[in-house]
Structure 1
Amino acid sequence: MPAQMPARMPAQMPAQMPRRVGATDVALEAGDHVCGFYYGDDERDAMLLPFLRGGLEAGDKCLAVVDSTAPKDVIAGIGEGLDVDGLLASGQLELYDSDETYLRTGTFDPERMIEFWEDHAAAESAKGRFAFARVVGEMSWLERVPPLREHVVRYETWADGFAAKFPHAVLCLYDLRRLGSGILLDLMRTHPKLLLGGLVLENPHHLSGDEFAAARA
């Protein structure tokens, strides 16, 4: 188990060693907020499963919310050679589906989801058990239950600051088959980095929350 850490991390953290993610061994660092675009289940799993498995093997906290796959299938995908039951029991691995999180009221309420992530991150920080965390949110549900555009923008622009508050990397997963052109443009603007084809790319189209609001004014 990683060494103990302070109950609360400062907003400006010292540089940390990059964590590796994905089948092509891509590096993510603390404070990263990354949008992973993919086509279909195979590409989703090529991002999701190595990200979680690599974290568990490294001793990282792993927390994922999935939608187009079930938590039990994620467990099966990452479980070979790992004591998944033990990891779940210890709290190192947490998995949820969208009905428990994004859609727990039947629709998407960004404030409730923000509270969910903030509460989990603060609780883990207070426990001081893990030096690093990997957080995943899969957003395929938005095709079934289309949210207000401003709700998605609010949620994703908030995530920039959230990623910087704690020693973790945030990976948002979006299936390109399920996205309209309008929301795709918003996603391009609300993520500092993109994960495409196994590469993490700096996003030249990214806007801060204030910049995004000014651009839409």
Structure 2
Amino acid sequence: MISTTAPIPFGRSMLREHRHVCAFFNSAVEEYDALLPFICDGINCGQRGFHVLPSHHREDHLSWLRKAGIDVETTLKSRQLEVALPEDTYLKTGRFDKEAMLVLIQEALRAGVALGFPLTRMIAHAEVAVDDWKSGADWAEYEMRLNGALPNFDDPVICTFDANLLTAPHAIDILRTHPMVIIGGVLVENSFFTSPQDFIREVQARTGPSQSYRG
């Protein structure tokens, strides 16, 4: 489905048809320079923000939002802003489960409509779910399969990563699973995006009962 909503300003460019984005950041300052205008624009437009981040980043995140002028307490109370933790999402079953997460993401986006919001802008710190090679393989397959589900929604989904916590193989696979990418604070169409069917076959071929994940 091609998005019928207006383009969304993000990363010195516009989100149009493709709204599944990976964003690599080297510091909190770089991250919030890119994300805050996007978050504030959504709140000011009456849209919903759904953010997933580690518990130890929650208060810092809310502090950044307050400094940007967002009434955090009011938006949390009205559920226009929701801050979820990995244990409520990626690691809800105690470990990353790609099947459960595919369902959860779609349920979270549908919940925004049920709450009366025209659009949900989802931002998720995803590196917490990629802590070893096995979860890396599952994560790569999940992200690629997500590309088959997200065209049913107009909602942008931004997967953010602390570049300092990723291995090079993980970073390459993450890059290949997103049609759009933020690098250096700038949104660009990702020329490294790979055909979903080909990529899933490749990842599955790399991993087997006697093989560890190789990026």
Query: In which range does the TM-score fall when normalised by the shorter chain?
Result: 0.7 to 0.9
2:74 paired residue number: 86
Normalising by the residue count of structure 2, what TM-score does the alignment of the two structures yield? 0.83
Kept after mapping to 2: 8 A contact 1:67/1:139: no
1:7 paired residue number: none
2:22 paired residue number: 35
Flag structure 1 segments of 5+ consecutive residues without an equivalent: 1-10
Flag structure 2 segments of 5+ consecutive residues without an equivalent: 206-215
Residues 135-146 of structure 1 mapped to structure 2, 5 A cutoff: 135-142=122-129, 144=131
State the 1:130 CA deviation.
2.2
Kept after mapping to 2: 8 A contact 1:63/1:136: yes
Measure the CA separation in 2 of the matches of 1:78 and 1:41: 13
State the 1:31 CA deviation.
4.2
Kept after mapping to 2: 8 A contact 1:49/1:74: no
Asked whether 1:112 is paired with 2:95, we answer no
Q: Give the direction of change, closer, same or farther, for the CA distance of 1:139–1:148 in structure 2 (3 Å limit).
A: same
Normalising by the residue count of structure 1, what TM-score does the alignment of the two structures yield? 0.82
Q: Give the direction of change, closer, same or farther, for the CA distance of 1:145–1:153 in structure 2 (3 Å limit).
A: closer
2:52 to 61, 65, 76: 65
RMSD (Å), alpha carbons: 2.3
Measure the CA separation in 2 of the matches of 1:169 and 1:29: 9
Kept after mapping to 1: 8 A contact 2:129/2:139: no
1:171 paired residue number: 158
State the 1:173 CA deviation.
0.5
Asked whether 1:121 is paired with 2:105, we answer no
2:199 paired residue number: 212
Give the secondary-structure state (helix, strand or coil) at the position aligned to 1:148: helix
State the 1:106 CA deviation.
2.6
Kept after mapping to 2: 8 A contact 1:190/1:206: yes
Kept after mapping to 1: 8 A contact 2:112/2:119: no
